[in-house]
Amino acid sequence: MFVDELIEFTNARGVTVKLDGEPFGLVSVEGLGDVAADVQQQKAPYQDGTDFVDTVLEPRYISVEFIVRGDDYDEIKHHRAYLSGVLNPKLGLGTLRYISGDVVRELKAVAESVPAFPDMEARGERWQRGLVMFVAPNPYWQDVNPTNIKLEDYVANFSFPFSFPVTFSIRGDSRTVVNSGHAPTPIKVTFRGDSVNPKITKNNTGEFIKVNRTIPEGYSLVITTDFNNKSVKIIAPDGVESNAMGYIDLDSTFFSLDVGENHLSFITEGGKPEVFIEYRNLFIGV
């Protein structure tokens, strides 16, 4: 390990332990980059070889060896018990964070077992070595802080040939958003304020998400495209949330940002919403 490399874990109850020296020091960590991949293929009758379909990453396993230090063996036992409680697998997923210089990445993980504390040569009167294996169901490391971008606003007027003069105002904007990670990443879109049938489009592919609903002044529409957490919510001024999935246009796609440049645009048939895009870059290794 490098001297500026450390690990910290925050469990589901919000308790954090840092392997940064005293009383818990980091000895070594494995699994920062190596993740097994399932290469999916298909084969037709009489075909030589196969056709590539896709590659799916397996869960990430991170092995962490550490050392516990104390003034005497009673203090060592106290620290061991505390660490076991923080890393308790029964608490479920917590946040594992890797820090090295200006590189800070995190992922959701859980200890695969209670930390192991070997006997004999792995302990002394004022120290104890230990080992714990974490498993991250989603193998991607991600930015600690999300990228937030506000889409600016413009107004376009369109006249239609009715029997009397009619003009409709449509508000919208377009912006290039860069995914600098290693994989496509989901987004969170917030329309804050009144809007009519808001729609956001990834112009590179033509994919869009449209909500056929009028959002009142003071309310927010929040769309999340995470594969395991797709949602469409309307949030009232008092914070009460209501499910708006039923108002999604049937041709909508809960798209992600592709690696590189993504040209996004929003449009609404009325109102004056502020529109924000939030996402985290994903990395297959650190």
Q: Residue 23's pLDDT band (boundaries 50, 70, 90)?
A: very high
Q: Residue 159's pLDDT band (boundaries 50, 70, 90)?
A: very low
For residue 119, the model assigns a pLDDT of 80
Residues of the chain with CATH 2.60.120.860: 147-279
Check residues 94 and 270 and name the one with the higher pLDDT: 94
CATH placement of domain 5-143: 2.40.30.200
pLDDT for 86 beyond 90: yes
Can you give the chain as a three-state secondary structure string? CCCCEEEEEECCCCCEEEECCCCEEEEEEECCCCCCEEEEEECCCCCCCCEEEEEEECCEEEEEEEEEECCCHHHHHHHHHHHHHHCCHHHCCEEEEEEECCEEEEEEEEECCCCECCCHHHECCCEEEEEEEEEECCCCEEECCCEEEEECCEEEEEEECCCCCEEEEEEEEEEEEEECCCCCECCEEEEECCEECCEEEECCCCEEEEECCEECCCCEEEEECCCCCCEEEEECCCCCEEECHHHECCCCCCCCECCEEEEEEEEECCECCEEEEEECCEECCC
pLDDT for 93 beyond 90: yes
Q: pTM for the whole thing?
A: 0.84
CATH placement of domain 147-279: 2.60.120.860
For residue 271, the model assigns a pLDDT of 86
Residues of the chain with CATH 2.40.30.200: 5-143
Question: Dihedral of CA 10/16/20/24: which sign?
Answer: negative
